[in-house]
Amino acid sequence: MTSPHDRPARFDVGVVGSGRVGAVLGAALRAAGHHVRAVSAVSEASLERAATLLPGVPVRPVPDVVSGAHLVLLAVPDDALGELVSGLAATGTFTPGQLVVHTSGTHGTEVLAPAAAADVVPLALHPVMTFTGTAVDLDRLVDCCFGVTTVDVARPLAEALVIEMGGEPVWVPEDARETYATALTHGADHLVTLVAQSMQLLAAAGIDDPARVLEPLLQAALANTLQGGDGALTGPVSRGDAGTVSGHVAALRRVAPDVSPAYLALARATAQRALLSGRLKPSAAEPLLELLAPGRPDEESA
């Protein structure tokens, strides 16, 4: 076999949703040799993504995309997924034996239960990646982990699909799906907010290129944390320098009161983790935690 298209068991794929994730995964499946037969798109942005990443693939209404596909890829927001599945099931759109894949991190296979009467094969394949909705994402899928949840008999198939798209399958039990998604949201989405706030403060300090100043520090902090967990903690909170932290709180009150609640909450969490890990002595932690206690006037005024 000389190319993906020579492999057996190629699927006709219907992609529901040409958002940043759907269009990219559709393109990845196409690159693996599957035939993307139709895609749904409504907004101008999604139509443009479909045209760019899935050129030549016809844009059809959702029922037409689902009907006749061997593999249905449901790439819609988490809160819309259940209603979409219920509606398609109620109208008899699913057909027996279809592979029905969703890309939600929060949901496992339970959200696909309304389609069970059609004897579909339920698959939850969540790429652990932030997407731009461009061809750049196809390269990022290489070695990207996918959270996989499905029925036991379909696990080899689910893992094979992930590997075909260049990713690495990671098994997530059905009852752990919510915790899994929370971990990723807390780590990635809140990291964006944290870094953006740090850039905001550096700009307020007159730094012309905040990103240049932060990048080496953040790369080192991330690498150290991934390798050593709480052992990577440094800085005034982990040392118990209450006077320095008090100065930070005062500075935030002056120049960026909108950032103050996040700083206080994260400083409290950092102090507690440093205390539990033994890096911060109880005698040093007490004044620090008192300074950072919820409901203080400093925090309320922020």
Residue (of 180, 158, 177) closest to 108 by Cα position: 177
Instruction: Count CB-CB contacts under 10 A for residue 144.
Output: 16
Query: What pLDDT band is residue 9 in, cutting at 50, 70 and 90?
Result: low
Instruction: Check: CB of residue 108 under 8 Å from CB of residue 149.
Output: yes
Provide the b/e sequence for 81-119 (b: ≥16 CB within 10 Å). Answer: bbebbeebbeeebbeeebbbbbbbbbbbbebbebbeebe
Kindly report, residue by residue over 12-22, the tens digit of the pLDDT: 999 999 999 99
How far is it, in rounded angstroms, from Cα 113 to Cα 90?
12
Contact between 81 and 23 under an 8 Å Cβ cutoff? The reply is: no
Report residue 297's pLDDT band, with 50, 70 and 90 as the boundaries.
low
Rounded Cα distance between 187 and 72, Å, is 30
Q: What is the rounded distance in angstroms from the CA atom of residue 101 to the CA atom of residue 123?
A: 5
Residue 123 confidence class, pLDDT cut points 50, 70, 90? very high
Taking alpha carbons only, the member of 109, 107, 96, 104 closest to residue 74 is 104
Question: What tokens were used for 301?
Answer: 């005024």
Q: Tokens 């927001």 map to which residue?
A: 77
pLDDT over 50 at 8, yes or no:
no
Burial of 76 (0-12, 13-18, 19+ CB in 10 A): buried
Average pLDDT taken over every residue of the chain: 93
Least confident of 21-30, 44-53, 266-275, 293-302: 293-302
Q: In what order do the strands lie in the sheet with 168-171?
A: 35-40, 12-16, 71-74, 99-102, 121-127, 145-150, 168-171
Angstrom CA distances, 249 to 218, 245, 252, stand at 21, 6, 5
**pLDDT of 274 higher than 80:** yes
pLDDT of residue 296: 61
Encode pLDDT of 201-249 as tens digits. 999 999 999 999 999 999 999 999 999 999 999 999 999 999 999 999 9
Fold annotation for 4-172: Rossmann fold (3.40.50)
What average pLDDT does this structure show over 28-35? Answer: 96
pLDDT per residue over 189-212, tens digit each? 999 999 999 999 999 999 999 999
Mean pLDDT of 81-104: 96
For 125-141, how does the pLDDT look when each residue is reduced to its tens digit (9 = 90+)?
999 999 999 999 999 99
**Residue % of the chain over a pLDDT of 90:** 91
The Cβ of residue 65 has, within 10 Å, a number of other Cβ atoms equal to 27
